[in-house]
């Protein structure tokens, strides 16, 4: 008989048949009431004591004021209460919402020193109107910290229920049964701020002094200097890629010379307008006033389509100024400089006549004169400044003055600088534009603002926008590479002018920014499409020419091996010959700041890769997919993240931003709450690596821990431990996997049946198709209940992509239903196999032990044998033996609670191992081991 803890014994004794609305969950050890609710004193005005809690108990009721979209019910905490809350592990209460359903519901706890005295934030699920919910907030594991722009509250504190709603609506909120469980003796109160908040406090040391700007080298100094010119000329003549790039440059420049300089009479409009409203397809330009939908043939003309086309015209002129200037430097042919001057002066003549306009056509800060946003104004101005610098010696003093007063200064100071942003990819483009104008005219104030402004300068962007692991904080690779592009023009120009951002105080962080996409990539160079990101790669990105030249680290050459190097950056700064590829493969790594664990196995064509996502939610671009993973092996992606659709189309929220679309856990068919998970253990050995993570508070009353083991280069095993900690209502536990390919076989449990249990109105479920259900009764402790499913490559019938093997590793008789069907890949018609393993449990622990095997022809089969089903609960230990064929076997143990565990390897007691590690991996030859057993030691106090 399995040993039970007192707590579990108590749970099991509870009458589960009672309805959730009348049942109070079993008290945690040491739990005490927090507030008695016999008076509304201390609560927001309008709050009343009512007897409407389940069973007629007291509750606080409060009707939200109709005015406003964010309103708050608050209870002040005196100092003793504040201390009690700050020192608690758990805050439990019940709540109910009536009337119009709010859009968001949060709890904020202000109880110094918790979260440094700022607002510790928790999100609540919104129950259907009239239904009581109980929630368990892990006080020390707040999801975010707010209010850091104001002084932290040192004395007193408050509990706040923050309701986000539509103006004019008045939902009624009730709160009851507030209880807290104190922290264990000696446990510390969490004072940590979020990464963003910590970063916001980082101060940067100024790099720019008036003296630096006094000592600027002669022009040219933005794209190249006179000292660099001989080397650039040599690359242009002696390397294949240099010759090819310059030939293209000359062709483009000669085409420009053949046409008159005819600037548009107005500025351009937003590129995002240039799509067919019906099909969403990007339009094709047939003439400046004729724009055609390639899908349906619709023809568009007039505003905004004609104006979007003008943006393209303006950008062509600006690129031409840079190209002409550079070609003049390379060839000395004055005709190129003369044409660059002509375009520059034409813009000086026109610029102030272009009205300031934003994407709505309004004359507002944030808009531009040439483009509709300061972003477009900046990307247009940067090549203009680079070209002007290159032809400086061909400009008269009067020309320079005209360009300064009528073009560059109005753009940099009146348009771009007036629009103030903080840490953001767009601000990086603006810094480059302002900084280049400053370096062009030797203006210390502009250069200093672009580089050293403490709120938004380039150094602040590097210090606060780049995470400790290297990825850009906005959480999607698209923004990462866009920001790399935005920073480069200023970093390069400043470097030539003696201001070194590469080797400066933020230099190491800047380098990690370039290294991260290499270190985190799959073996084929692609990055997982986590959050609002499509697939992305550093491969072929020419900006790595700059990184390699400035830091000299051969690791930075990896993305260039996929490039033909016929690029501007290679010509200006590239090394002649790329350093040899490192023989040392990337290691398995835990990126703790962004929360990605990357496990690697094998090398070359058989390299395997597993990226597990457990960290911060990722703000507005985050997906609710804690402990989701992407798996790669045998030269292909085996299980993927579907990525993202265009923002605003229904399938973005309906599928891509659902938990179901990911390889993780869904409870009660709802999306996970935004949460930050935790790394619990990370182990690497010869031929294997393993990681154990906790998902954090993704659902009320649920603990989810995933141990993942990458074994060799052709198998991965997962031990997914799910514990239900609030009793009284049955929970639906869905584990989902999306293997690539098409279904070949689904078996072990007889023929499938048409499911009748999948909902149409829950996030993501309506996108499932061709679903069949298979039921396993449960209760077995052997291998008899294995469920196996295999996918194959649709193009090559012999090529199996993946075989998934599930083993029923569980406490007691819990049946499992498997749903095999298809979900959505890159679009609704791209069908990707989906396997969903479902259990329903009321309390206690369940473990899904499962494996994926893959291979070129036949995937490596993995047989899982549960070693100690009875040991699982309540100790929370899962142990399996995984037989991979070829005599390779592993004992795998996940033990998140550090229970004492004994591993018996055969009859010889000398082979017995006693330990309490959170992860244990032991490879052995099963032919020599007669018996194998794992048992937990007694853990009664
Ligand atoms: Zn169309
Ligand atoms: Zn996603």
User: How many angstroms separate the alpha carbon of residue 595 from the centre of ligand 2?
Assistant: 15
Taking the centre of ligand 1 as the mean of its atom positions, its distance from the CA of residue 283, in whole angstroms, is 8
CA of 300 to the centre of ligand 1 (A): 10
Q: Is 500 or 933 the better-scoring residue by pLDDT?
A: 500
Q: What is the CA(110)–ligand 2 centre distance, in A?
A: 32
Q: Which ligand is nearest to the CA of 280?
A: 1
Q: What's the 296 CA to ligand 1 centre distance in angstroms?
A: 4
At 23 the pLDDT is: 39
Of the listed ligands, the closest to the CA of 299 is 1
* pLDDT grade for 646, boundaries at 50, 70 and 90: low
- Which residue, among 259, 260, 415, 228, has the nearest Cα to 326 in the 3D structure? 228
| 34-48, 448-462, 549-563, 839-853: least confident range | 839-853
How does residue 185 score in pLDDT terms, banded at 50, 70 and 90? Answer: confident
d(CA 265, ligand 1 centre) in Å = 29
pLDDT of res. 905? 64
Can you list the pairs that 374-377 forms with residues at least 24 positions away whose Cβ atoms lie under 8 Å? 374/415, 374/416, 374/419, 374/426, 374/430, 375/426, 375/429, 375/430, 376/268, 376/270, 376/311, 377/411, 377/415, 377/416, 377/433
- Retrieve residue 665's tokens: 């856990």
Q: Which ligand is nearest to the CA of 293?
A: 1
Protein residues near ligand 1, an ion, with CB under 5 A: 276, 278-279, 293, 295-296, 298
CA of 915 to the centre of ligand 2 (A): 37
Ligand nearest the Cα of residue 629 is 2
Taking residues 415-435, report their average pLDDT. Answer: 96
Ligand 1 centroid to Cα of residue 529, in Å, is 28
pLDDT of residue 413: 97
Which ranges in 371-506 belong to alpha helices (H)?
374-390, 397-403, 409, 425-441, 444-452, 458-465, 477-496
For 860-899, what is each residue's pLDDT tens digit? Answer: 677 777 775 454 555 678 888 888 876 788 888 888 888 7
Name the band, by pLDDT with cuts 50, 70 and 90, for residue 512.
very high
Which pLDDT belongs to residue 199? Answer: 73
| pLDDT given at position 858 | 61
When pLDDT is averaged across residues 539-566 and rounded to a whole number, the result is 96
Calculate mean pLDDT across residues 38-67.
93
The secondary structure element, H or E, covering residue 915 is strand 913-915
Please report, for the chain, how many H helices and E strands are present, in that order.
19, 41
Give me the DSSP letters along 578-614: PPPPPSSPPPPEEETTTTEEEEEES-GGG-EEEEEE-
Kindly list the distances between the CA atom of residue 796 and the CA atoms of 606, 634, 800, 809, in Å, as whole numbers in the listed order: 19, 14, 8, 34
282 alpha carbon to ligand 1 midpoint, in Å?
9
The pLDDT confidence band at residue 781, using thresholds 50, 70 and 90, is very low
How far is the centre of ligand 1, averaged over its atoms, from the C-alpha of 609 (Å)? 40
Cα gap 37→230, rounded to integer Å: 82
pLDDT at 908 over 80: no
- Cα(290) to centroid of ligand 1, in Å? 14
Distance 651 CA to ligand 2 centre (A): 12
Cα 305 to averaged position of ligand 1 atoms, centre (Å): 14
Ligand 2 centroid from CA 762, angstroms: 17
Average model confidence (pLDDT) across the chain:
86
Name the strands in the sheet holding 863-866, side by side, starting at the edge strand that comes first in the sequence: 863-866, 878-883, 888-894, 919-925
Q: Which residues of 825-858 are buried (b: 16+ CB within 10 A; e: fewer)?
A: beeeeebbbbbbbbbebebbbbbbbbbbbbbeee
The bound ligand whose nearest atom lies closest to the alpha carbon of 294 is: 1
Question: Residues lining ligand 2 (ion), CB within 5 A?
Answer: 623, 641
For ligand 2, the distance from its centroid to the CA atom of residue 308, given in whole angstroms, is 31
Range of lowest pLDDT (694-703, 761-770, 918-927):
918-927
Mean pLDDT of 730-755: 83
Distance from Cα 764 to the centre of ligand 1, integer Å: 27
**Chain segment 457-495, per-residue pLDDT in tens:** 999 999 999 998 999 987 789 899 999 999 999 999 999
Cα separation, 777 vs 523, whole angstroms = 40
Closest ligand to C-alpha of residue 660 is 2
Read off the pLDDT band of 934 (50, 70, 90): low
Residue with more model confidence, 529 or 918 = 529
Q: How far is the CA of 578 from the centre of ligand 2 (A)?
A: 35
In the numeric block, the tokens 């993240």 are attached to 641
Does 575 score more than 90 pLDDT?
A: yes
Cα 876 to ligand 2 centre (Å): 29
C-alpha 310 – ligand 1 centre gap (Å):
21
Say what percent of the chain tops pLDDT 90: 58
Give the DSSP H or E segment for 79. helix 79-86
What average pLDDT score do residues 764-770 get?
92
Give the mean model confidence (pLDDT) for residues 224-252: 97
Q: Which ligand lies nearest the alpha carbon of 300?
A: 1
How many Å apart are CA 486 and CA 469, to the nearest integer? 20
Give the closest residue to 253 by CA, choosing from 349, 331, 348: 331
The bound ligand whose nearest atom lies closest to the alpha carbon of 292 is 1
Mean pLDDT of 852-858: 73
Mean pLDDT of 525-538: 91
Residue 11's pLDDT is 29
pLDDT for residue 809 is more than 60: no
Q: What is the model's pLDDT at position 928?
A: 46
The confidence score (pLDDT) of residue 775 equals: 80
Residue whose structure tokens are 């550090």:
898
Which pLDDT tens digit goes with each residue over 829-843?
889 999 998 888 888
Cα(627) to centroid(ligand 2), Å: 11
pLDDT over 60 at 51, yes or no: yes
- Beta partners for residue 136, in sequence order: 92
Give me the phi and psi of 854, to 5 degrees please.
-145, 165
Please report which ligand is nearest the Cα atom of 623.
2
Q: How far is the CA of 654 from the centre of ligand 2 (A)?
A: 12
Distance 536 CA to ligand 2 centre (A): 14
Starting from the CA of residue 662, give the closest ligand: 2
pLDDT confidence tier of residue 202, bands split at 50, 70 and 90: confident
**Comparison of pLDDT for 666 and 645, the residue scoring more:** 666
Distance 173 CA to ligand 2 centre (A): 33
Is residue 393 within 8 Å of residue 219, measured between CB atoms? yes
More confident residue, 802 or 79: 79
């Amino acid at each position: 008989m399995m040993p039970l803890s007192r707590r579990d014994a108590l749970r099991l004794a509870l009458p589960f048949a009672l309805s959730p609305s009348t049942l109070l969950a079993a008290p945690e050890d040491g739990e005490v009431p927090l507030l008695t609710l016999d008076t509304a004193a201390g609560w927001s005005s309008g709050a009343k004591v009512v007897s409407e809690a389940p069973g007629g108990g007291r509750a606080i009721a409060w009707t939200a004021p109709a005015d406003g979209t964010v309103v708050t019910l608050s209870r002040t905490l005196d100092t003793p209460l504040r201390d009690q809350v700050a020192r608690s592990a758990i805050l439990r209460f019940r709540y109910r919402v009536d009337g119009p359903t709010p859009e968001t519901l949060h709890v904020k706890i202000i109880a110094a020193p918790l979260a440094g005295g700022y607002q510790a934030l928790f999100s609540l699920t919104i129950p259907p109107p009239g239904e009581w919910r109980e929630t368990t907030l892990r006080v020390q594991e707040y999801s975010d910290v707010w209010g850091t722009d104001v002084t932290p509250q040192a004395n007193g504190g408050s509990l706040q229920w923050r309701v986000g709603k539509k103006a004019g609506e008045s939902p009624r909120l009730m709160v009851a049964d507030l209880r807290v469980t104190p922290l264990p003796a000696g446990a510390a109160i969490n004072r940590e701020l979020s990464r963003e908040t910590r970063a916001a406090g980082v101060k940067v040391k100024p790099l720019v002094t008036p003296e630096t700007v006094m000592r600027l080298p002669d022009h040219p100094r933005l794209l190249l200097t006179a000292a660099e010119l001989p080397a650039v000329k040599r690359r242009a003549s002696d390397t294949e890629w240099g010759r090819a790039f310059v030939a293209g440059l000359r062709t483009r420049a000669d085409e420009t010379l053949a046409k008159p300089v005819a600037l548009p009479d107005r500025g351009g409009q937003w590129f995002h307008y240039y799509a067919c409203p019906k099909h969403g397809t990007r339009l094709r330009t047939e003439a400046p006033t004729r724009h055609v939908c390639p899908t349906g043939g619709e023809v568009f003309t007039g505003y905004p389509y004609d104006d979007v086309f003008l943006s393209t015209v303006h950008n062509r002129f600006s690129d031409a100024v840079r190209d002409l200037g550079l070609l003049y430097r390379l060839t000395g042919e004055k005709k190129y400089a003369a044409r660059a001057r002509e375009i520059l002066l034409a813009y000086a003549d026109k610029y102030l006549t272009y009205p300031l306009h934003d994407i709505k056509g309004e004359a507002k800060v944030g808009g531009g004169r040439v483009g509709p946003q300061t972003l477009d104004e900046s990307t247009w101005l940067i090549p203009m400044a680079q070209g002007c610098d290159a032809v400086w010696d061909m400009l008269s003093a009067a020309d320079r003055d005209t360009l300064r007063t009528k073009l560059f200064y109005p753009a940099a100071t009146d348009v771009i600088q007036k629009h103030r942003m903080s840490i953001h990819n767009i601000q990086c483009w603006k810094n480059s534009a302002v900084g280049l104008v400053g370096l062009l005219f030797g203006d210390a104030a502009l250069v200093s603002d672009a580089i050293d402004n403490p709120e938004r300068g380039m150094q602040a962007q590097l210090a606060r926008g780049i995470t400790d692991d290297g990825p850009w904080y906005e959480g999607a690779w698209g923004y990462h590479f866009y920001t790399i592009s935005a920073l480069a023009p200023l970093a390069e120009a400043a470097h030539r002018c003696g201001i070194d951002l590469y080797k400066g105080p933020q230099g190491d962080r800047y380098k990690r920014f370039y290294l991260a996409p290499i270190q985190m990539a799959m073996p084929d160079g692609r990055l997982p499409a986590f959050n609002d990101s499509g697939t992305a790669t550093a491969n072929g990105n020419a900006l790595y020419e700059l990184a390699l030249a400035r830091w000299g680290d051969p690791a930075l050459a990896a993305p260039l091996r996929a490039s033909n190097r016929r690029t501007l950056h290679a010509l200006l700064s590239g090394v002649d010959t790329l350093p040899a590829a490192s023989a040392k493969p990337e290691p398995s790594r835990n990126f703790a700041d962004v929360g990605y664990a990357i496990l690697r196995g094998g090398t070359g064509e058989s390299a395997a890769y597993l990226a597990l996502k457990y960290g911060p939610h990722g703000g507005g671009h985050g997906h609710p997919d804690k402990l989701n993973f992407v798996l790669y092996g045998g030269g292909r992606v085996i299980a993927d993240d579907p990525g993202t659709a265009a923002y605003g189309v229904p399938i973005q929220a309906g599928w891509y931003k659902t938990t179901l679309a990911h390889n993780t856990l869904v409870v009660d068919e709802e999306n996970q709450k935004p949460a930050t998970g935790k790394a619990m253990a990370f182990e690497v050995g010869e031929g294997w690596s393993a990681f154990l993570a906790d998902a954090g508070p993704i659902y009320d009353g649920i603990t989810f821990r995933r141990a993942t083991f990458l074994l060799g280069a052709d198998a991965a095993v997962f031990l997914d431990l799910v514990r239900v900690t609030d009793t009284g209502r049955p929970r639906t536990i869905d584990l989902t996997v999306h293997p690539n390919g098409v279904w070949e076989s689904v078996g072990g449990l007889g023929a499938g049946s048409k499911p009748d249990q999948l909902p149409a109105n829950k996030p993501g479920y309506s996108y499932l198709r061709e679903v069949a259900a298979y039921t396993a009764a449960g209760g077995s402790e052997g291998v008899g209940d294995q469920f196996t499913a295999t996918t194959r490559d649709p193009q090559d019938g012999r090529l199996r992509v993946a075989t998934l093997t599930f083993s029923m590793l569980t406490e007691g008789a819990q049946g499992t239903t498997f749903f095999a069907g298809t979900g959505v890949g890159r679009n609704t018609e791209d069908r990707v196999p989906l396997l969903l393993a479902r259990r329903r449990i009321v309390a206690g622990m369940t473990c899904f032990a499962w494996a994926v095997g893959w291979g070129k022809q036949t995937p490596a089969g993995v047989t899982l044998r549960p070693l100690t089903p009875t040991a699982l609960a309540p100790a929370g230990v899962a142990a399996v033996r995984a037989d991979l064929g070829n005599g390779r076997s592993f004992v795998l143990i996940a033990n998140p609670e550090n229970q004492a565990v004994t591993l018996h390897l055969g009859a010889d007691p000398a082979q017995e191992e006693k330990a309490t590690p959170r992860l244990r991996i032991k490879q052995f030859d099963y032919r020599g081991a007669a018996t194998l057993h794992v048992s937990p030691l007694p853990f009664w106090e």
